[in-house]
A = this chain, B = another copy of it.
Amino acid sequence: MDDSPMKSTSRRAFLKGGVAAGAAAAAAGQAQAEGDPLILEKQEWAQGLGDGVDATPYGLPIRFEKDVVRRNVEWLTADTISSINFTPIHALDGTITPQGCAFERHHSGAIELRKQDYRLMINGLVDTPLVFTYEDLERFPRENHVYFCECAANTGMEWAGAQLNGAQFTHGMIHNMEYTGVPLRALLNEAGISAETEGKWIYVEGADASSNGRSIPLEKALDDVLVAFKANGEALRKEHGYPVRLVVPGWEGNLWVKWLRRVEVTDAPIESREETSKYTDTLEDGTSRKWTWVMDAKSIVTSPSPQAPIMHGKGPLVITGLAWSGHGAITRVDVSKDGGKTWETARLAKPGEKMALTRFYLDTDWNGEEMLLQSRAIDETGYVQPTKDQLREVRGENSIYHNNCIQTWWIKPNGEAENVEVS
């Protein structure tokens, strides 16, 4: 403590004159300009006692982060019942999405279903139809997996051009959580299904009024589908399907049926409303792509982006974003600053994991000139995320779903960013 800067005139002078020296000083930001760093004074917050947390046994974010919340786009859905909330991915880092701000989509509202009232029926082409209580489910061997869940309509508005000005709105229908649950395989085996039966599909539905019924090939159901009751360690939130939802790794979010009520084994798909009038992709010639379950490899720069502009001027800059693939692990992410003419390989925070979000960083030095910022994901199958033009060539311009094209942010010299399209 005998080396305290408070005692050293020369050092105090240095600090007054050279706040945020070193690499950081190369582009002194606005905060510094406000005056001396408060660290040299006895700060207000060090003079008294802070709050206890007994008043908030379950805590919420600090009030200064009140903007980091799910947001809606009013005109996207016709009514307040069928709504979409977007994850504030522009303000998050790492890979885990807290349940509290994880995007949420429902078709007839989020229902309140007590564990005591919960039942899961398995019926159809099985030896023994079964009804499980919540407690029954807890008695089967459990697994833990981190998976992303992406709405098929994520980035859907961007088919028509650069529409929504923010990563939260263009790419925020995604979240990534650690699920705990029972493999659906275990429950199906309990009901007595075997490879020799005529059952080739399952039909899953939720306990809400919409029921959101969807058909899934039995092969997937017996592979990695989970009947999940926890996310990020705790019970599923109401809007995420409490007490039980289906987790269908790598496949579109509407298959992840919430408030899961019934699994029927069938010999053919049901062709329900949710897989005919919705969640098929209309092509240029009027025909539709069907059963487009898998979410292809995709990525997005989350910062800088329209909601997360560069505030500190030129100099050291961390470009960061997320990448994912429904076909497996992300193996590489490239970043372009010139709209796709040249590419640099980004640093993955961790090796990619199957069907989970991967965080990438490009540690760079910004010269203060405008950039056309893009990212491009490559997955373990060798698949490369396409440009919007490449995607339109194959799919035409009638699509809503499965837009996994490369996104462009125009970074202006003042650090602000805008959603643009480049050819």
Using a CB–CB cutoff of 8 Å, the interface residues on chain A facing chain B are: 1, 3-5, 11, 14-15, 19-24, 29, 31-32, 34, 37-39, 43, 45-54, 56-65, 68-72, 80-81, 83, 85, 91-101, 104, 106, 108-117, 119-121, 123-125, 128-136, 138-144, 178-180, 190-191, 203, 207-209, 211, 229-230, 232-235, 237-239, 242, 259, 261-262, 264, 266, 270, 311-312, 315-318, 320, 347, 349-350, 359, 361, 363
* Cβ contact of A53, chosen from B62, B239, B315, cutoff 8 A: B239
A116 touches B31 (CB 8 A): yes
A235 touches B61 (CB 8 A): yes
Identical subunits present: 2
Which residues of chain B are within 8 angstroms of A34 by Cβ–Cβ distance?
116
B235 touches A94 (CB 8 A): no
25 A-B pairs with C-beta separation under 8 A: A3-B266, A5-B123, A20-B133, A31-B135, A38-B117, A46-B208, A50-B110, A50-B112, A52-B81, A54-B72, A58-B68, A61-B235, A61-B237, A64-B114, A91-B234, A92-B230, A92-B234, A94-B179, A94-B180, A94-B233, A96-B178, A98-B232, A100-B100, A138-B318, A139-B312
Which residues of chain B are within 8 angstroms of A239 by Cβ–Cβ distance?
51, 53, 56, 59
A141 touches B51 (CB 8 A): no
With A and B bound together, what is the CA distance between A398 and B94 in angstroms?
A: 42
| Distance from A235 Cβ to chain B, minimum over Cβ atoms (Å) | 5
* Cβ contact of A43, chosen from B38, B63, B207, cutoff 8 A: B207
Which residues of chain B are within 8 angstroms of A180 by Cβ–Cβ distance?
93-94
**Known A-B contacts A99-B59, A139-B24; A270 and B52 likewise in contact (beta carbons under 8 Å):** no
* Cβ contact of A132, chosen from B24, B63, B179, cutoff 8 A: B24
B207 touches A46 (CB 8 A): yes
Which residues of chain B are within 8 angstroms of A242 by Cβ–Cβ distance?
62, 64-65
Which residues of chain B are within 8 angstroms of A111 by Cβ–Cβ distance?
45-46, 50-51
Which residues of chain B are within 8 angstroms of A31 by Cβ–Cβ distance?
116, 133-135
| Distance from A140 Cβ to chain B, minimum over Cβ atoms (Å) | 7
